[in-house]
Amino acid sequence: MSDRVLTVEDLKVSLPVPAGKLRAVQGVSFHVDRGETLCIVGESGCGKTLTALAVMDLLPSKARRLATRLELEGKELSDIGERAIADIRGNRMAMIFQEPMTSLNPAYTIGNQLEEALLRHRRIGRKQARERALYLLDRVGIPSAEIRLKQYPHQLSGGLRQRVMIAMALMCGPALILADEPTTALDVTIQAQILHLLAELQREFAMGLVLITHDLGIVARIATRVAVMYAGQIVETGTAEAIFSAPAHPYTCGLLACIPVPGKTQRGHKLGTIPGMVPSLIGDKHGCRFAGRCPFVIAACGESEVLLEAGGGPGQLVRCIRHTEIAGLTARSPEAVAL
Amino acid sequence: MSALTTSKAVYTGPIVEARRIVRSFSVSRGLFKRARTLRAVDGVNLSIRPGEVVALVGESGSGKTTLARMLLGLLPPSSGEIRIGGQASATLARRQIAALVQPVFQDPYSSLNPRKSIGSIIALPLRAQQDEEPATWRSRVEEMMDRVGLARRLYDNFPSQLSGGQRQRVAIARALINQPRLVICDEPTSALDVSVQSQILNLLEDLRRDMGLTYLLISHNLAVVEHMATRVAVMYLGRIVEEAETAALFHAPKHPYSQALLQSVLTPEPGLGVPDTQLGAAYPDPLAIPSGCRFHPRCVRVMPRCRTEVPPPVGMSTAMVECHLYDTPFQPKAPA
């Protein structure tokens, strides 16, 4: 089990809002091993970003976090103090954010910001820190790294800034990287380059990677395992192969039907849609959260809490009482379950 | 008004024709340095015929939005000519252009006036065009709301009470209320979730078929482009570097930049991994356009003459490419 980098069990995050308690994350469990990429996929408001922030202990101050287990490299994080977590954050685990412009400090040079993490966590001098920064800037494909070190974030393009963010996350050689929509603000060509780089570095340094995205194309190309989130819960999880070839949850099927695929979806043909809206997460909820939008809904769906249980292929978990039927349909033809 | 209405009915040529249009901006570099010139659009030819869906693709800074703003009459070209409905756009009033060309913007949160009701937002073009039958406005707006899938009861609501998908439907209804000839959709679904995106794309396709519309679709999502467009123009640093029928472009892109763009599309097929586009870390800066072929610093197939000679457009009437790789085997396009 020494390969296990992160274990999260029954993570709950709630936020106080005027109308009551917003249960943004409702009992999420997952794990990441060394060299493995877990993609958390879902639409806005499904709780994927808060899940990552909860792991990093970077939640907004009013949010409440509860978890039965939150272990990084075998060390429980949920009950250690501010200082102890600050020693781990940026050191053993690091985060890459969506918008590199807002997550880099405009008042400090690239070099200063890169070296900061290393000087904070290691007993080394400025010179060695600078050497490491140079090495990593070069490694993430930034030309003329020496000049870049002395520049400020606004002097770099979006793609270069995101490369700097990646270099910064790697400074201390972390065991785990959490990347929240790392390429959403970038052009497609730059996106492909950044993801290619991320995957390569992750293999090279044998890190665990949690990548949060709404883009199923990215998920398919980079994930070892996938967790599909809906309304604060994981509704389906399994290997990328299984999720894309034989999804067993109606929401996953719906998402896959929504996206046009070059060479497959016929021009002018209707794309699948998911009717209705995401349910409110305020207050207590019972039964399947997706029931209101699901074409497979039956009376039993609303009766009691639906559990995440084995279904579909090996290692796959599904939160749907009719998953056997749906997996049977999609195994024959993934398009069979167009909503 | 009446002259314009007749010209709408009679004219059958391209709805929009841009000939060698250039738009440059002067960019300040601080108090003591001379301002530099940014050529956002640098000699573009584009013609859109009725019934087409022309897609404009390219990275940010390639000039897509500047081109769209010129076609909408919001920005005059620095040089070159735009003809809308057969008439030179320089001779048309803003209002006349607006009757023919309407926009749908990317962000439905900022493109709707938060202090106006849905009904009055959709009716605005009627008011702006001084439509002669104000008595029918309400019923026409409601009919349009039905068409775009908005419940009539939302007539008196405000944008803040609507979801992103509903707001984009309002923006579409506003664009269509005056029955324009061309709708310019600038990243119409980029701000939306995937499940909402597919609803809006289906709606745009239905409306196009039912109302006989023509679209200029600006998008960086090539999967969406392949699904919607009949013809694609690839822009790079202010120029159209390749133009072709959608199927031809996706099947066999000619320009190395088009090839890299298509390679970058991450289709949901597990096991294929993330492609290496080999574009390098150089990034396209419209303030410092490279000599010769403007793509040469990032091109994997760069040749010596690419650094010095600007590639001429080569190709037939349906396809065009600007790249030295195709200098010889193609017949040059007839001079304009």
Cβ neighbour number for residue B223 with a 10 Å cutoff: 21
Read off the pLDDT band of B3 (50, 70, 90): very low
User: Per the CB < 8 Å rule, is B272 touching A221?
Assistant: yes
- State how far the Cα of B294 lies from the Cα of A155, in Å rounded to an integer: 22
- Write out chain B residues lying below 8 Å of A263, CB-based: 226, 250, 267
Q: Does B135 touch chain A (CB under 8 A)?
A: no
What confidence score (pLDDT) does residue B7 get? 46
- CATH dotted code for B2-326: 3.40.50.300
Q: Does A267 touch chain B (CB under 8 A)?
A: yes
- Residues A301, A287 contacting (CB under 8 angstroms): yes
User: Looking up tokens 């120029």, which residue turns up?
Assistant: B239
Rounded to the nearest 10°, the torsion over CA A171, A175, A179, A182 is 40
Closest Cα in chain B, distance from residue A318 (Å): 19
Is the pLDDT at A179 greater than 60? The verdict is yes
Long-range pairs, B124-127, Cβ under 8 A, ≥24:
B124/B174, B125/B98, B125/B174, B125/B175, B125/B177, B125/B178, B126/B177, B126/B178
Is the pLDDT at B317 greater than 90? The verdict is no
Read off the pLDDT band of A93 (50, 70, 90): very high
Q: Which amino acid is at B120?
A: S
Report the residue of B266, B298, B299 to disrupt the A interface, i.e. the one with the largest count of A CBs within 10 Å: B266
What confidence score (pLDDT) does residue A336 get? 54
Domain locations in chain A?
4-223, 248-337
A16-59 residue pLDDT tens: 999 889 999 999 999 999 999 999 999 888 999 999 999 999 99
What confidence score (pLDDT) does residue A339 get? 46
Read off the pLDDT band of A63 (50, 70, 90): very high
Average pLDDT over residues B40-60: 93
Spatial strand order of the sheet with B214-218 comes to: B101-104, B182-186, B214-218, B53-57, B231-236, B239-245, B320-321
- State how far the Cα of B71 lies from the Cα of B111, in Å rounded to an integer: 18
What confidence score (pLDDT) does residue A335 get? 58
Cβ neighbour number for residue A86 with a 10 Å cutoff: 13
- Residues B242, A280 contacting (CB under 8 angstroms): no
Is the pLDDT at B5 greater than 60? The verdict is no
- State how far the Cα of A8 lies from the Cα of B333, in Å rounded to an integer: 62
- Residues A229, A42 contacting (CB under 8 angstroms): yes
Q: Does B265 touch chain A (CB under 8 A)?
A: yes
Which candidate, B320, B319, B321, B257, places its Cα nearest to that of B290? B257
Read off the pLDDT band of B254 (50, 70, 90): very high
Q: Residue A169: left if φ>0, alpha if ψ -120 to 50, beta else—which one?
A: alpha
Which candidate, A250, A334, A330, places its Cα nearest to that of A289? A250
Is the pLDDT at A147 greater than 50? The verdict is yes
Cβ neighbour number for residue B125 with a 10 Å cutoff: 21
* Chain A nearest-CA residue for B201: A271
What confidence score (pLDDT) does residue A31 get? 96
- State how far the Cα of A41 lies from the Cα of A194, in Å rounded to an integer: 18
Lowest mean pLDDT among A323-327, B18-22, B51-55, B235-239: A323-327
Measured in residues, chain A has a length of: 339
Domain locations in chain B?
2-326
- State how far the Cα of B59 lies from the Cα of B237, in Å rounded to an integer: 8
What confidence score (pLDDT) does residue B4 get? 45
Which candidate, A56, A55, A45, places its Cα nearest to that of A15? A45
What confidence score (pLDDT) does residue A337 get? 55
Please state at what angle helix B137-147 crosses helix B164-176, rounded to 10 degrees.
Answer: 130
Q: Which amino acid is at B287?
A: L
- CATH dotted code for A4-223: 3.40.50.300
* Chain B nearest-CA residue for A339: B195
- Write out chain A residues lying below 8 Å of B273, CB-based: 199, 221-222
Q: Does B252 touch chain A (CB under 8 A)?
A: no
Report the residue of B261, B274, B300 to disrupt the A interface, i.e. the one with the largest count of A CBs within 10 Å: B274
- State how far the Cα of A155 lies from the Cα of B158, in Å rounded to an integer: 40
User: Per the CB < 8 Å rule, is B277 touching A241?
Assistant: no
User: Per the CB < 8 Å rule, is B277 touching A43?
Assistant: no
- Residues A294, A218 contacting (CB under 8 angstroms): no
Q: Is A199 helix (H, G, I), strand (E, B) or coil?
A: helix
Is the pLDDT at A228 greater than 60? The verdict is yes
- State how far the Cα of B80 lies from the Cα of B75, in Å rounded to an integer: 13
Strands A37-41 and A225-230: parallel
Which candidate, B86, B54, B50, places its Cα nearest to that of B68? B54
